[in-house]
Amino acid sequence: MRFDGDVLTIDLSMTMEEIREFEQFIRPRIEYVETIDVEEGSGLASSALLALLASLKRTRRELNIPFIERGRTASPVYGTLHWMCYD
Amino acid sequence: MTKQEQVKAIFIEEAGEIIEKLDVDILRFEEYSGNYDLLNEIFRGVHTLKGNANAFGFTRLGEFVHHFEDILDHYRSTKEEIEIHNLELIVNSVDVIKEVMECELDAHPELPGGYGECLERIKHLIAAKTGKTRAAVPEAAPEELRDLASEFGIGCAEAFNETITRSIELHQSIREEGLRLYRVDLTLDNDAYKRGFDPLGFIRLLNDNAKSVESFFDLENVPSLEGFACDENTLGRVVCIVLSPKTPAEIAENFEFLFDHEYAVQAIEPPVVQVPQTEEKPKEEARSSSKPGGESSTGGMSASKSTIRIDTFKLDELFDSVGELVIAQNFIAQNEKIHAIEDESITRTIETLSKITKRIQDRVMSLRMVAIRDTFDKMKRVVRDTSKKTGKELALIVQGEETEIDKTMIDSLSDPLIHIIRNAIDHGLESSAQERLAAGKKAEGTITLRAYHKSGSIVISVSDDGRGINKERVFQKAIERGIITGDENLSDSQIFGLIMQPGFSTAETISDLSGRGVGLDVVKTSIEKLRGKIEIESREGEGTTFSMVLPLTLAIIDGMLVRSAGEIYIIPTLSVVESFRPEREIVHAMKEKGEFVSLRGQHIPVIRLSDVFSLPTERIEPWEGILVCVETEAGRIAIMVDELLGRQQVVIKTLGKSLARLREISGGAILGNGDIALILNVDELRPLIEGPHAGN
């Protein structure tokens, strides 16, 4: 996880423990983050992170999370994943 | 074509259909901007387009459509009245979508000119609208936001289901022997993570050995941070579409440690194409009979399969085969040896065969025919845009939208039609409402778009109630441009026809719509490529009508069979004006100018087919033969033949490379007796003199 100016870059392949830490980190800082980017080449390892990112977006609509906004990702491990955030 | 390419081809076709529909719907919405059902429909199309574009890596299209969808979503969920300038932005966005789609298809690295600006305007609008919304509910509690989301989510749930249905359809299309299609619904309890289960873990298992897995996460129930805990499963359902060689039992085995209510595995059978038993069967009844198992959880997919997509190439092959069948049937029907057999049962069988062949021919022909409605719908947009650009108020009247026309022709018809319509608005109609009022007309101009059948042809006409064509001015302009010498005795239609000559334009101002002096000649060429012709009627002060006369189909031609020097030729009936045996007195020969026939004040050049094709024959005088008078792009000519054999519909066969060089021949046909006849390209039959014919 890297914080560069207003952009927070995270690794998608977080373990459950790391996701908890990320959640604790972002909760008090959500107003200061403009964008949450993902590390290039990293793949989603837990649905909990997807849910957390969706929750962040729901909490603060103007927060820019390109990964969530894209609505899909594809990998050889899972095939194609789509999600709908309703926001 | 690989399966992947096939799926991509299906996407491209569907995306094209969505965009075409979008183009029409957005215009209807502009007219009835309070119709939120229509806006929902537009939204659904855009949403599908977004999903598919992203799925196939058309990210630039995906990005644009994504933001466009946001705008539509805002208006459909708030039901806020759309401001005129924002409505214009929405309409323009559809243009950009069309252009981006083309860039994506051509893998063009550069984006269309308006892309960046339009996208920025959309983003700006979204930001402004979101700001407004937030300002209206500045302290909106998470609960209130959820209420809004759930209210809005009704439509999204539909969209979610639609996306899944589409995925099932796509997977059905790439299904191969030995593969099974499954839909797996996962609705894990809140404590799933604590029990060590994650939907992604199951998806990984499903993907093992599968040909394709596509999963959809419904994030509707994910709360805002206030109610969120990452170690609690807050995902709604997760739906996986799996194409795998595994058996249902093997698929279900993956979920053996879950509670029964947490998963559902459904094997999806291949779609069954329903063929109505009789034509009289009511549609509703036919639909219900396609769902023998009651309501299906696949969203009634099989019920919607009342039509199937067929590659037009396959249709063409089928049509060719039917053409051969017709030829073979004609051969049997006209074979003298078979006729010589005096057996009633054989005669009856041949008659039955003839009837069945005709019926098959008609049915196969009808497969290629589509209503012109979609093309006319597209023209509504052209009329609207041109009206705005020129600032002319006008009404569009559309007639005969159900007229059916060959699909191949429809594709080539749009551009000529667009040009004629723009021309009619830009130059046909008076330049201002005042000018119209001064001429005793109502301020609003009228453009009438009409399709109808006439003498075995299809006519598509564009009429305006404008100032009409100034015949004298056209004539003078044609002399100035060197198109005619001025000595010619031209009929009204021939004078009007001059405006379609290359480089001709009487427009005093050149606009980006028309008046460049190029265009109408291209329109003419395009229509002639379809074996059609353009007729112009105009009355000064009353208006002008451009009529495109087209054959019913490109595969069959209605022809007049003639014999010359022992060979049979076919003259397209569409070109034939009349045929006659001339009196000796009306035939003239001029030194170095060839033979002419005087007909109702016109001197029409006589063309001997035996000369054109250098056929050895005894030379007879024109009054001993038959003259077939035809209309060509250079005026009328009289084709001299020995005998008229009759009129017949023939299946057009392309010629080999060596014969294709003969400009005077446009194709060949096999006659009932097995003989081959060449189809004449009358526009290329040149008399000894060049330039417009029918001169004094």
A63 contacts in chain B (CB < 8 Å)? none
Q: Is A86 on the interface with B (CB under 8 A)?
A: yes
Nearest-CA neighbor of A9 among A53, A46, A51, A47? A53
Place of tokens 């966005």: B93
Other CB atoms within 10 Å distance of the CB of residue A1: 14
Cα–Cα distance measured from residue A21 to residue A15, given in angstroms and rounded to the nearest whole number: 10
- Residues 6+ away with beta carbon under 8 Å from B594: B605, B606, B687, B688, B689
The residue type of B35 is N
Residue B441, by phi and psi: left (phi above 0), alpha (psi -120 to 50) or beta?
beta
Q: Is A21 on the interface with B (CB under 8 A)?
A: no
Q: How distant, in Å, are the alpha carbons of A52, A55, A69, B51, B297 from that of B221?
A: 12, 9, 17, 21, 22
3-state SS class at B106: coil
- Residues 6+ away with beta carbon under 8 Å from B171: B181, B212, B214, B241, B243
B212 and A79 within 8 Å at the Cβ level: the answer is yes
**pLDDT tens digits for chain A (87 residues)?**
787 777 889 999 999 999 999 999 888 888 888 899 998 877 889 999 999 999 999 898 889 998 988 888 888 889 889 988 655
Cα–Cα distance measured from residue B269 to residue B182, given in angstroms and rounded to the nearest whole number: 9
pLDDT of residue B455: 63
3-state helix, strand, coil in chain B (%, to 5): 45, 20, 35
pLDDT tens sequence across B404-416: 888 878 878 888 8
A84 and B54 within 8 Å at the Cβ level: the answer is no
pLDDT tens sequence across A45-70: 999 999 999 999 989 888 999 898 88
Burial (CB < 10 A; 0-12, 13-18, 19+), residue B535, is middle
3-state SS class at B615: coil
A56 and B163 within 8 Å at the Cβ level: the answer is no
> Using a CB cutoff of 8 Å and minimum separation of 24, what contacts does B625-629 make?
B625/B581, B626/B562, B626/B579, B626/B580, B626/B581, B627/B579, B627/B580, B627/B581, B627/B582, B627/B597, B628/B560, B628/B562, B628/B571, B628/B576, B628/B578, B628/B579, B629/B576, B629/B577, B629/B578, B629/B579, B629/B580, B629/B599, B629/B604
Which tokens in the block code for residue B651? Answer: 């299946």
Cα–Cα distance measured from residue B123 to residue B127, given in angstroms and rounded to the nearest whole number: 6
Q: Which of A56, A71, A78 sits opposite B225 (nearest CB)?
A: A56
pLDDT of residue B118: 87
Cα–Cα distance measured from residue B495 to residue B505, given in angstroms and rounded to the nearest whole number: 13
Q: Which of A55, A69, A77 sits opposite B207 (nearest CB)?
A: A77
| H runs (alpha helix) in B210-343 | 248-253, 283-288, 312-334, 336-340
Q: What is the ipTM of this complex?
A: 0.96
A50 contacts in chain B (CB < 8 Å)? 217, 219, 235
β-pair type (A35-38, B404-406): unpaired
A84 contacts in chain B (CB < 8 Å)? 156, 159-160, 163, 216-220
DSSP class of residue A64 equals B
B54 and A72 within 8 Å at the Cβ level: the answer is yes
Burial code (b: 16+ CB inside 10 Å, e: under 16) for B214-239 equals bbbbbbbbbbbbeebbbebbbbbbbb
B54 and A54 within 8 Å at the Cβ level: the answer is no
Place of tokens 């000519």: B637
Q: Is B225 on the interface with A (CB under 8 A)?
A: yes
Which tokens in the block code for residue B664? Answer: 């005077």
pTM: 0.50
Cα–Cα distance measured from residue B480 to residue B477, given in angstroms and rounded to the nearest whole number: 5
3-state SS class at B25: helix
pLDDT along chain B (696 residues), means of 10: 64 80 81 78 82 73 86 82 81 86 80 83 80 39 34 56 83 80 92 89 91 89 88 89 91 88 88 45 36 36 55 80 80 80 85 86 80 86 86 90 84 86 90 90 92 81 92 86 77 82 60 51 84 88 91 76 91 89 88 82 87 85 91 84 85 73 82 82 68 41
Nearest-CA neighbor of B445 among B453, B436, B454? B436
Which tokens in the block code for residue B257? Answer: 């440690």
Nearest residue on chain A to B223, judged by CA atoms?
A55
Cα–Cα distance measured from residue B619 to residue B595, given in angstroms and rounded to the nearest whole number: 13
pLDDT of residue B131: 59
Backbone angles phi, psi at B442, to 5 degrees: -75, 155
- Residues 6+ away with beta carbon under 8 Å from B363: none
